[in-house]
Amino acid sequence: MTSPVVARGLAKTYGSGQAAVPVFSGLSLEIADGEFVAIVGPSGSGKSTLLHLLAGLDRPDAGEVEIDGEPLARMSAAALARLRNEKIGFVFQFHHLLPEFSALENVAMPLRLAGVARKRAEAQAGELLAQVGLSARAGHRPAEMSGGELQRAAIARAVAARPPILFADEPTGNLDTENAEIVFALLRKLHAERGKSAVLVTHDRDLARRCDKIFSMTREGVKAGDVREV
């Protein structure tokens, strides 16, 4: 089985001198093709930082990340942006939908950036919104949608360009139990249908136990013994 996401010896520190705050060091992991993986750990252990490093949104102080065998450290900012648009879907804890655009326009955005014509992009976005139960909200702007609806729209946007890798950073963290279950079930459904590799950062151990594998993080990284097959 191939590993589209590989991290070796990652270290990250914020600040410098006496103000330096080490997040983690010596962190290594691999996400196999088609796996749905959870990353758990206490607050401050660097779960979100790790996800940003894996997605090329930030750079490590040491170590390396490879996406589909391509080392991110050797890429320019423009090359990283292309890789993210082509290979990575990212769902944030706060949806980050653009407030001036409708749900349909937000979901169509990655397709338009990939060069898809507007009518075709919006048609595909409409199909995705139907899949996540938001057809009736297609013309609504983010301010007119509930928290659960916003996260479902954010998931639709993340998978619109059919990226092979999906990262989700606490996507249920701001939702009530019912909506958290809906969002998690949607992530699992899309993963099963599209065969993506998915990485979920979560504080919810119940959700984590329903993933294929759990990585438990500490400030010292992820040890072999911390990886639990479900």
CATH code for the domain in which residue 208 is found = 3.40.50.300
Is residue 114 domain-resident?
no
Is residue 112 domain-resident?
no
pLDDT surpassing 80 at residue 95: no
Is residue 119 domain-resident?
no
Do strands 227-229 and 62-67 pair parallel, antiparallel, or not at all (unpaired)?
A: unpaired
Is residue 77 domain-resident?
yes
Is residue 172 domain-resident?
yes
> Which pLDDT score is estimated for 138?
92
Q: What is the mean pLDDT of residues 114-138?
A: 90
Is residue 139 domain-resident?
no
pLDDT surpassing 80 at residue 64: yes
pLDDT surpassing 50 at residue 35: yes
pLDDT surpassing 80 at residue 107: yes
- pLDDT averaged over every residue in the chain: 84
Q: Which of 112-121, 185-194, 219-228 has the highest mean pLDDT?
A: 112-121
pLDDT surpassing 70 at residue 228: no
Is residue 85 domain-resident?
yes
Q: Which two tokens stand for residue 196?
A: 């993506």
User: pLDDT higher for 224 or 4?
Assistant: 4
Q: Which domain holds residue 220?
A: 5-98+147-229
> Which pLDDT score is estimated for 142?
93
> Which pLDDT score is estimated for 123?
94
Residue 230: band (very low, low, confident or very high) from pLDDT cuts 50, 70, 90 = very low
pLDDT surpassing 50 at residue 224: no
Q: What is the mean pLDDT of residues 156-183?
A: 84
pLDDT surpassing 80 at residue 116: yes
Report the length, in residues, of the chain: 230
Is residue 140 domain-resident?
no
> Which pLDDT score is estimated for 104?
95
Per the structure, the count of domains in the chain is 1
Residue 227: band (very low, low, confident or very high) from pLDDT cuts 50, 70, 90 = low
Tell me the three-class secondary structure of the chain, residue by residue. CCCCEEEEEEEEEECCHHHCEEEEEEEEEEECCCCEEEEECCCCCCHHHHHHHHCCCCCCCEEEEEECCEEHHHCCHHHHHHHHHHHEEEECCCCCCCCCCCHHHHHHHHHHHCCCCHHHHHHHHHHHHHHCCCHHHCCCCHHHCCHHHHHHHHHHHHHCCCCCEEEEECCCCCCCHHHHHHHHHHHHHHHHHHCCEEEEECCCHHHHCCCCEEEECECCECCHHHEEEC
Q: What is the mean pLDDT of residues 96-114?
A: 91
